[in-house]
C-alpha cells in the first residue's frame, strides 16, 4: 500500500504565536514571551470552558515529545470531575480560527460525561512493559475495531507498521483504492498520548481516512 504519514501534531503548520499577534514564529521565542503565551492560552481555555460549565480548573504540564499541554478539569452538577488534555498548538490554532473554540473544547467534556462517576486522566505507565501492554491490549484493538466498524462493510487495512521518519505507526487505509495515496499512518506514541489525555485517538485516524476518501471523490 502507498504509505503517507498523517500526523496532525508533527505536521501542524500553525505557528506558536500569541493570539492576534503577527510575530514570525520562525524566530526563537524568548522565555518571557513563551510564558506570556502560556498564560494567555491557559486563560482563554478557562474562559471558553466556563461558557458551558460552572466549575473549571486548569493546569499546565510539559511532555518531552510535545511540549506544553493544558489539562482542564470540569465538574458536573453532581460534583464529579472530568479531565481532558489539549496541545498548545491545537489550542492556538483553534483560538486564532475563531471557529467556536468554546464549543469545540466543551464537546470533549460532553463526551466524557457520558461516563458516570467522573473520569480522571489515566495513571501513567510505570514501565515500558506496562506502556506496551496498554498499546497492545487497549490502543491497537480499539483503533482496529472502531475503524472497521466506521467503514463497514468496506474492507479496511489497519494495523501496526514502521515509518523511517516517525518509527512505529498505526497504519490504516483502503485496499480498494489502487491509484494514488490509499493509507494514512500516525505515530504510535501520538495515539498513545491522546489516550493518556482522555482524547479519542481513533479520531486522528478517521480524519486521515476521510481525507483520503475526499481526495478520491468518495465523499
Per-residue model confidence (pLDDT) at position 22:
31
Q: Hey, what's the cell of 121? A: 486522566
**Coil/strand/helix, residue 134:** helix
Which residues contact residue 83 at a Cβ distance below 8 angstroms, ignoring those fewer than 6 apart? 71, 72, 73, 74, 112, 119, 120, 121, 198
Q: Hey, what's the cell of 101? A: 473554540
Helices and strands, number each (H, E), in the chain = 7, 7
Q: Average pLDDT, whole number, for the chain?
A: 87
Per-residue model confidence (pLDDT) at position 27:
59
Residues of the chain with pLDDT under 50: 2-26
User: Which residues is 187 bridged to in the sheet?
Assistant: 169
178-204 burial, b at 16+ Cβ within 10 Å, e below that, comes to eeebbbbbbbbbbbbbbbbbbbbbbeb
Please write the tens of the pLDDT for every residue from 39-97: 999 999 999 999 999 999 999 999 989 999 999 999 999 999 999 999 999 999 999 98
Amino acid at each position: 500500500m502507498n504509505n503517507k504519514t498523517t500526523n496532525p501534531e508533527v505536521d501542524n503548520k500553525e505557528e506558536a504565536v500569541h493570539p492576534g499577534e503577527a510575530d514570525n514564529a520562525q524566530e526563537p521565542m524568548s522565555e518571557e514571551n513563551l510564558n506570556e503565551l502560556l498564560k494567555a492560552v491557559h486563560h482563554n481555555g478557562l474562559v471558553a470552558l466556563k461558557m458551558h460549565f460552572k466549575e473549571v480548573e486548569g493546569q499546565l504540564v510539559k511532555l518531552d515529545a510535545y511540549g506544553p499541554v493544558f489539562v482542564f478539569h470540569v465538574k458536573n452538577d453532581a460534583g464529579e470531575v472530568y479531565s481532558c488534555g489539549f496541545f498548545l498548538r491545537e489550542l492556538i490554532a483553534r483560538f486564532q480560527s475563531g471557529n467556536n473554540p468554546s464549543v469545540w473544547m466543551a464537546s470533549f467534556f460532553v463526551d466524557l460525561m457520558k461516563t458516570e462517576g467522573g473520569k480522571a486522566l489515566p495513571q501513567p505507565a510505570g514501565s515500558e512493559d506496562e506502556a506496551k501492554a496498554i498499546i497492545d491490549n487497549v490502543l491497537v484493538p480499539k483503533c482496529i475495531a472502531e475503524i472497521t466498524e466506521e467503514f463497514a462493510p468496506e474492507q479496511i487495512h489497519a494495523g501496526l507498521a514502521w515509518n523511517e521518519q516517525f518509527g512505529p505507526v498505526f497504519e490504516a487505509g483502503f485496499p480498494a483504492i489502487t491509484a494514488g495515496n490509499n493509507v494514512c499512518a500516525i505515530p504510535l506514541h501520538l495515539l498513545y498520548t491522546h489516550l493518556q489525555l482522555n482524547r479519542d485517538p481513533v479520531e486522528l485516524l478517521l480524519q486521515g481516512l476521510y481525507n483520503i476518501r475526499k481526495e478520491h471523490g468518495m465523499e
